[in-house]
Amino acid sequence: MRIWDRRFQASIPMWILLSQTTKRPIEARQRQNYAELSLFFSCALLIFLLITISRSCVPAKTTDSYRKDPERKRFHAYEEFGDRREGVVSSRTYFYEGEEQCDKNMKIFLDSIDGVSSATDKTGFCAIKLTALGRPQLLLQLSEVLMSMRGFFDKMLSSVGDLAVTKLREEQFLQALETLGIRISRDDSRMWFSILDITKDGEVDFLDWDNLLDDHFNLTKLFAVPEIKTKGPVTKLVSTLSKEQEQEMKNMLHRINTIAEYAREKDVRVMVDAEQTYFQPAISRLTMEMMRKFNKEKAIIFNTYQCYMKQANYNMKVDLDLSMREDFYFGAKLVRGAYMEQERERAKKIGYEDPIHPTFEATTAMYFRCVEEAMKRIKQREPGKIAIMIASHNEETVRYAVEKMKEYNILPSDRVICFGQLLGMCDQISFPLGQAGYSVYKYVPYGPVEEVLPYLSRRAIENRGVLKKVKKEKKLLVAEIRRRIKAGDWFYKPTPNTV
């Protein structure tokens, strides 16, 4: 397993927004206050309670059957899919090479934040990937914990209604535990409920459940979930973290915290890239925790939602609900998704439901739903509380977003919606938007030439549909050159208008 672990990769994006890398030295930051950032397992304390309350064990065959749950398979590591570069052209992928390399990756991100700050006068973004900051297998384990506990809560509410909006009062909660066959005393059940009810309103909802945190939780505790199918006692979810793994997790959290703190200090927005679906529950959870801490005065941290995922709109709605309830700024980037071929192959071979929409049209429909949901929420909350980037090279998608902005009376000058395209691609979309007063950002690749060029070539292949429009772009460029010659307008200097 250790040999295979070395083949597990971490990805670092090869671009930032509207900036270029500088090599300014940055002093070392050794902040140890992990409790200050509530970045850990959403159900850590709850899981610990389950273990404490029910100390008995289940037979090995029960555990095996639980692990064979098709959806649980997604969050297990498979050597066959160790090379996450296969079928992926839109992100830079590195091998996991130890904690020292993760520290170097963090330094690259900090340098990038410096570059954004100096080059864009604090209006740009820096993009990061969490798999570059620690051992990816730890994110797999956290994702499995999160999704298993969500599944358990869903089972509790299976006869009640919509998971996202349903609330359970104490008696309903106790009855649900009894129905599921969870063997705990009524006093323990009431204690459990009182801890879950973090808002102290006498009700437990999905946000209470999904955002339960314990800053002082011992990372070496066992994780467990109830064995619903057999109505038995709790079952181990993942093995105990070794001291080495515990330290690796703490190191990852420290790196994430360091980047977020430095971005806030430099007044630079950080976009956390979405990755494969088997990492995404953990990545989204950690990103939302960063939002809770760092987005109190403005949107510093942005999450990414991949609209080719069947759960994209649902996940965004849950996160929007959390930001509204806890009154912090919400930032999001909407993309189609970069791992379609790899995700489909993995789901088919391992045997779980394909998490990706079956067609381009279905993905487009999901993108539209997410855009409209975001704009509805923008109008519901006080001005500036929600910021959205429409990251798309698709003319239809951009046109839809512009039309919806008009429908919801969201002006370009409101600076809550912006657009993003890769530098050198779709300028026929970017420039008209900018001239019309919309905030437009270009993704700027950065890094050594020998690494940037292969990345750009892969993006060109990925956007071969865009390349088919080169003839159209040529005509537009010629027309623009002629216009400038006739008007004597040799240099175009747009008026800054940024989100």
pLDDT value of residue 184: 67
Residue 376 binned pLDDT confidence (cut-offs 50, 70, 90): very high
Q: Which of 209, 239, 76 minimizes the C-alpha distance to 146?
A: 209
User: What pLDDT, on a 0 to 100 scale, did the predictor assign at position 336?
Assistant: 92
State the burial class of residue 10 (Cβ atoms within 10 Å of its Cβ: 0-12, 13-18, 19+). buried
Question: What are the E-state strand segments in 325-438?
Answer: 330-335, 386-391, 417-422
Q: Among 30-34, 157-161, 277-281, 390-394, where is mean pLDDT lowest?
A: 30-34
* pLDDT tens per residue, range 253-270: 899 999 999 999 999 999
Least confident interval from 78-92, 320-334, 403-417, 474-488: 78-92
Please report the sign of the dihedral spanned by the C-alpha atoms of residue 189, residue 191, residue 197, residue 200. positive
Q: Compute CA 33 distance to the chain's CA centroid, rounded to the nearest angstrom.
A: 24
pLDDT value of position 273: 92
Place 144 in a pLDDT band, splitting at 50, 70 and 90.
Answer: confident
Return the pLDDT at 425: 80
Q: Considering the chain, tell me which residue range(s) the CATH 3.20.20.220 domain(s) occupy.
A: 2-43+75-145+242-487
Statement: 2-43+75-145+242-487 belongs to CATH 3.30.160.110: no
- pLDDT average, residue stretch 151-160: 65
Q: Mind listing the pLDDT tens digit for each residue in 293-333?
A: 899 999 999 999 999 999 999 999 989 998 998 899 999 99
What does the pLDDT read at residue 78?
A: 54
Q: Residue 62: pLDDT above 50?
A: no
* 289 confidence band (pLDDT: 50, 70, 90): confident
Mean pLDDT, range 58-74, rounded to an integer: 47
Query: From the DSSP assignment, how many helices (H) and strands (E) are in the chain?
Result: 19, 14
Q: Which of 115-124, 270-279, 309-318 has the lowest mean pLDDT?
A: 115-124
Maximum average pLDDT range among 133-137, 216-220, 288-292, 312-316: 312-316
Q: 110 by DSSP, 3-state: which?
A: helix
pLDDT > 60? residue 14: no
Digit-coded pLDDT (tens) for 393-442: 899 999 999 999 999 999 999 999 999 998 878 888 998 999 899 999 99
66 pLDDT exceeds 50?
no
CA distances from 38 to 66, 215, 256, 257, 304 (A): 30, 6, 12, 10, 20
Average pLDDT over residues 86-112: 74
The pLDDT value given to residue 335: 95
**Region 161-175: what's the mean pLDDT?**
65
CATH 1.10.238.10 placement within the chain: 44-74+146-238
Q: Provide the CATH number for the domain formed by 44-74+146-238 in this structure.
A: 1.10.238.10
What percentage of the chain reaches a pLDDT higher than 90? Answer: 31
User: Per-residue pLDDT for 454 more than 90?
Assistant: no
State mean pLDDT over 108-115: 92
Say which residue the tokens 């009894």 belong to.
178
Compute the average pLDDT of residues 34-41: 37
State the chain's mean pLDDT as an integer. Answer: 73
Q: Which of 90-94, 138-142, 261-265 has the lowest mean pLDDT?
A: 90-94
β-pair partners for 95? 9
**What is the model's pLDDT at position 40?**
36
**Which of 133, 68, 60, 143 is closest to 97 using CA atoms?**
133
Residue of higher predicted confidence among 24 and 132: 132
pLDDT at 4: 32
Of 402 and 122, more confident = 402
| Contact partners, residue 17, CB within 8 Å, separation at least 6 | 116, 124, 125, 126, 127, 271, 420, 441, 442, 443, 444
- Give me 111's structure tokens: 């340098």
- The residues that bridge with 205 in the sheet, in sequence order, are 167
Q: Assess whether pLDDT exceeds 90 at residue 45.
A: no
- What is the mean predicted confidence (pLDDT) over 139-159? 73
**pLDDT (mean) for 204-210:** 58
Lowest mean pLDDT among 96-105, 173-182, 214-223, 367-376: 214-223
- pTM for this one? 0.73
Residue 234's pLDDT is: 47
What's the pLDDT score for residue 467?
56
